[in-house]
Amino acid sequence: MTGRDLLAIVLLRDVPFWTQSIGRRFTRGMLLLAYLYVGVLLVLLALENFFLFPGARDKSWIELNERYNIHAVEFTSEDGNTIHAFWSAPKEWKPAQGAVLYSHGNGGNISGRQESLLRWQRELNRAVLLYDYPGYGKSTGKPTEASCYAAAEAAFRWLVETQGVPPEEIILLGSSLGGVMAIDLATRHPCRAVVCCAAFTTFPDMAQRQFPWLPARWLVRNRMDNLAKIGTLHCPVFLIHGTADTLVPPWMSERLYEAARGEKELLLLPGHPHRPPSQPEAFAALRRFLQRTASSN
């Protein structure tokens, strides 16, 4: 057998070796499926961040509504990226009143979240800083797990150093993917509370859920391990999850709640899909939680 013949066999070409019996034809078919499976797996692994950060591909931008009291600001993260953000404070706001650091989900950019920013400001009567991840909106760089952590760190530092907000009066708010940044920040900084909407347990859990026919859990590079980190927090933790969330299942917030220590609460919203809450009762529950835990901070 020549080297060319052996190569033809390995490449599963239609050569006499594969056509001499039914068994060999069946084996060739199975190997073709295996090759296809491995090929799809390699492509998905190569495109991991492509699927994880779809908002970086969304180049649409909605200009600031002139009726809103929202201001565009910028700051630089430690990895050199320019982070674009929106800042809005209530009238006669003072730093001691505290602020909300809003880390959004992985789709879209901050320009489409202006009303959401104002809702959180109005409901909690605190200033709100909403920032974009690297590669999102007008922020520079590329989104990775590390660069998103760096962007969140820069946003926190801007609140403390530029606006003079006491760290103990900063609410770390994370929606979906943003829960990763909120929880990670709380492992390194004191804060008023961590508030997560539709947060997931770990990225490997999410990858396995999205591709159950692949060993995704063991092969993905990004970790985003909220489950391990939340058990190390010493601040109050408030979790919100819609029971009709088909992207991030509610059981993930239930597991996060079980792992959290200290003051904590889980609010399940009946029939609510995968998006931040808008129901007045959700904000009322959060305000009660903040009042109840004020003495523990």
Of the chain, the percentage scoring pLDDT greater than 70 comes to 95
Averaged pLDDT for residues 83-111: 98
Number of alpha carbons in the 13 Å side-chain half-sphere of residue 259: 20
Q: Give pLDDT, residue 214.
A: 86
Q: Per-residue pLDDT tens for 242-254? A: 999 999 999 999 9
The Cα 72–Cα 69 span in angstroms is 10
The Cα 4–Cα 264 span in angstroms is 66
Sheet holding 71-76, edge to edge: 71-76, 82-88, 127-131, 99-103, 170-175, 193-197, 237-242, 264-269
pLDDT at 204 over 90: yes
pLDDT at 1 over 70: no
Of the chain, the percentage scoring pLDDT greater than 90 comes to 81
